Amino acid sequence: MGTNYASTPKGAKAAFFGAPHGTPYKGIDNRPHAKAADSFRLALKDDIPWLEHWDFDFGGPLLPDTKFKAVDLGNLPTKPLDGRGNRKKIETQTANILSEGAVPIMFGGDDSTPIPFINAFSGGAPLTILQIDAHIDWREERYGERFGYSSTMRRASEMPHVWRIVQAGAHGMGSARQTEVETAAEWGAHIIPSHTIHHRGIDQVIAHIEPESACLISLDLDVLDCTVMPAVAHPSPGGLSFLQVTDIIAAVAAKARIAGFTMVEFVPGRDPLGIAAHVAARIAAHVLNHVTRQGIK
pLDDT tens-place string over residues 107-161: 999 999 999 999 999 999 999 999 999 999 999 999 999 999 999 999 999 999 9
**What is the structure's pLDDT at 2?**
39
pLDDT at residue number 144: 96
Single-letter amino acid, residue 145: E
H or E segment to which residue 168 belongs: strand 162-168
Asked if 89 and 17 count as a contact pair (C-beta separation under 8 A), the reply is: no
- Give, in words, the CATH class of 14-294: alpha beta
The model's pTM is 0.96
Beta carbons of 144 and 289 less than 8 angstroms apart: no
Q: Which of 153, 156, 197, 157 is nearest to 175 (CA)?
A: 153
CA–CA gap between residue 182 and residue 216 (Å, rounded): 23
The pLDDT profile of the chain, 297 residues, written as one tens digit per residue, is 334 578 888 889 999 999 999 999 999 999 999 999 999 999 998 888 888 899 999 999 998 887 889 999 999 999 999 999 999 999 999 999 999 999 999 999 999 999 999 999 999 999 999 999 999 999 999 999 999 999 999 999 999 999 999 999 999 998 899 999 999 999 999 999 999 999 999 999 999 999 999 999 999 999 999 999 999 999 999 999 999 999 999 999 999 999 999 999 999 999 999 999 999 999 999 999 999 998 765
Domain ranges, ordered by start, for the chain: 14-294
DSSP letter at 221 equals G
72 sits in which H/E element: strand 70-75
pLDDT of 29 reads 96
Q: Which of 255, 248, 128, 136 is nearest to 197 (CA)?
A: 248
Strand partners, 64: none
Q: Phi/psi of residue 235, each to 5°?
A: -65, 145
Predicted confidence at residue 3, as pLDDT, reads 42
CA distance 130 to 138: 14
Q: Which amino acid is at 246?
A: T
Q: What is the pLDDT of residue 1?
A: 35
